[in-house]
Amino acid sequence: MARFWLMKSEPEKYGWEQLVRDGETVWDGVRNHLAAMNLRAMEVGDQAFLYHSVSEKQITGIMDVTRAGLTDPTDPEGKWATVYVKPVRALERPVTLAEIKADPALAGIQLVRLSRLSVAEITPAEWAHICAIAAA
């Protein structure tokens, strides 16, 4: 069964538009143990929100995990994980961090509880709720 994730990136470094231009990318450079554990748990077919961190603080699009179980090519020691992702679609409208924090249905979301975590798991209920907000 597919799982859901949220992956953060500063839009000035690598944003939605760049992912769309590239068509697919390796999600490298993650150096947090819990985030790396989440990367290792991903499987092909899982989906992830792309969250623009720092300057925008909003979920902008949905990505598919296209390759999983890989070692980060930027890690010379070979101990950090990575996956490849491709864009599926931009959200109808971005969902902001402020909206997420204000929504009682999202009170337990890792994006808020573990705010520095760059790769977070999203429950199916959280995923559906955020998609509904984006479509409203």
Interval 62-96: pLDDT, tens: 999 999 999 999 999 999 999 999 999 999 999 99
Write the CA distances from 65 to 39, 99, 100, 103, 113, integer angstroms.
10, 26, 24, 27, 24
Whether residue 94 contacts residue 134, with contact meaning beta carbons closer than 8 Å, is answered with: yes
pTM of the predicted model, to two decimals? 0.95
Q: Let me know how long the chain is.
A: 136
* Burial (CB count within 10 angstroms: exposed 0-12, middle 13-18, buried 19+), residue 13: exposed
136 pLDDT higher than 90: no
Interval 104-124: pLDDT, tens: 999 999 999 999 999 999 999
d(CA 14, CA 39): 18
Ordered by where they begin, the domains of the chain are 4-135 (3.10.590.10)
What integer pLDDT is reported at residue 126 of this predicted model? Answer: 98
1 pLDDT higher than 90: no
